[in-house]
Amino acid sequence: MIGHVESYDDERQTGAIRCDDKFYEFHIDDWGLDVEPEVGNDVDFLPEDDGSATQISSAEGVIQHTMVPVKRRVIAALLGLLTGFLGLHRIYLGFYWIACVQILLTAVMLFLGAPGFAVVWGFIEGFLIFGGLISKDAKGRMLK
C-alpha cells in the first residue's frame, strides 16, 4: 500500500503511516530505507492485521509509475465527437458516473423527442479534449 508518514518519534523509534484515513504504526526495524523517517515521506508498505506496517520502502518509483500517461487524447476526443451522447469518451477516461449521467440524459431526451442537448454535450467535450481543456483521466494522469 502507498502511505504517508504522519509522525515519527526518534527517541522511541516508532511512527505512524496514514493510508486511506487509517493509521499504521511502525518501528524503525521495519523501515527499509537508508534515510531516517521524516514526516511527509511517501512510502510503500505491507499492512498487518494488528494495525502495524512492515516492509516499508520508498514509494517514489511507484508513484511516478502510476502517473505515466496511458490514455490517448485522440481516441478520447474522437469518442466524444462521434459517440459523446453515449458517454463512451468518459468511460474511456474512467469517469463512469459522468458517463452514466450522459447515457441517462440521452435516454430521457430521446424519450421527450429532443435529443439535441445530449448530443451537443458530448460533441463539445470532444473539442475540449482535442484542445487540451480536458487533459487528464479519472486517475489524474495526463493524456498522451
The model's pTM is 0.57
Whole-number pLDDT of residue 62: 47
pLDDT of residue 63: 46
Nine-digit cell string for 15:
511512527
Q: Is the CB of residue 64 less than 8 Å from the CB of residue 91?
A: no
Q: Which of 7-11, 14-18, 97-101, 117-121 has the weakest average pLDDT?
A: 117-121
pLDDT at 95: 92
Cell reading at 33: 530505507
Mean pLDDT of 105-131: 88
- Cβ atoms of 58 and 45 closer than 8 Å: no
pLDDT at 40 over 60: yes
Q: Tell me the residue type at 139.
A: K
Q: Of the candidates 136, 100, 97, which has an alpha carbon nearest to the alpha carbon of residue 118?
A: 100
Which amino acid would we find at residue 7? S
Q: pLDDT (tens digit, 9 = 90+) per residue, 44-90? A: 888 898 988 888 887 765 444 456 678 999 999 999 999 988 999 99
Cα gap 15→100, rounded to integer Å: 43
Q: Are 35 and 20 in contact (CB under 8 A)?
A: no
The whole-number pLDDT of residue 127 equals 94
Domains and CATH numbers, the chain: 2-65 (2.40.50.140), 73-131 (no CATH)
